[in-house]
Structure 1
Amino acid sequence: MKILCNELFGQNLQRIRNSCQLTQEQTVAKLQVLGSPLSRSTYSLIELGRGNIYISDLVGLKEIFNVEYEEFFRNIPASR
C-alpha cells in the first residue's frame, strides 16, 4: 500500500532528515538495510512531493529518524 505524497509531506520529510543530519544517500542506505528496495532517485522524488511512498518505507523512516508519525504530516491540511 502506498501513500500519495504531496509537497508538504516532502518538505516535512526533508526537514526531519536534515534535523537528523543525514543525506538522502545515507537515509536510503539505512532503509535498504531494513529491506527496502527504495533508490535515492525515488526518495528524492518523494521529498519533492512528486513520488509516492510505501507504508513500509514510512515505518522504516520513523525508525531511522526516531520521530512520531505526526512529524511526517505536520501542517498538512485535511482538505485537498
Structure 2
Amino acid sequence: MIMDPGINGRETYSRALVIRPEQKAIIVSGFAQTEEVLEAKRLGTVQFLRKPVSIEKIGLAVKKALGMVVSAKQSPQL
C-alpha cells in the first residue's frame, strides 16, 4: 500500500479499514512510538515490525497473516 504524504502506516491502515473492514496489515516503521504500536494493534494489525527488518521476519509476519485469513474463512459465521 502506498501512503499519502504526511500520514503514517497506522493512519493509512485506519483509512483502509473504512473501505475494507476485514483488511489485515503488517506495518513496518523506523519511527514507531509505543502509542502508535498499541493503536495499530487495537485496529487489528497482524504485526508491527521496526526497521531495520530482515526478510525472515517479514516472511514470518506474512505467514501469520495468511494463517489468520485462512482461519477466518474456515470459522463458521455466527
TM-score of the two chains, using structure 1 as the length reference: 0.33
TM-score of the two chains, using structure 2 as the length reference: 0.34
**More RCO (CA 8 Å, sep 6+):** 1
Q: Which has the higher helix share?
A: 1
Structure whose CA Rg is larger = 2
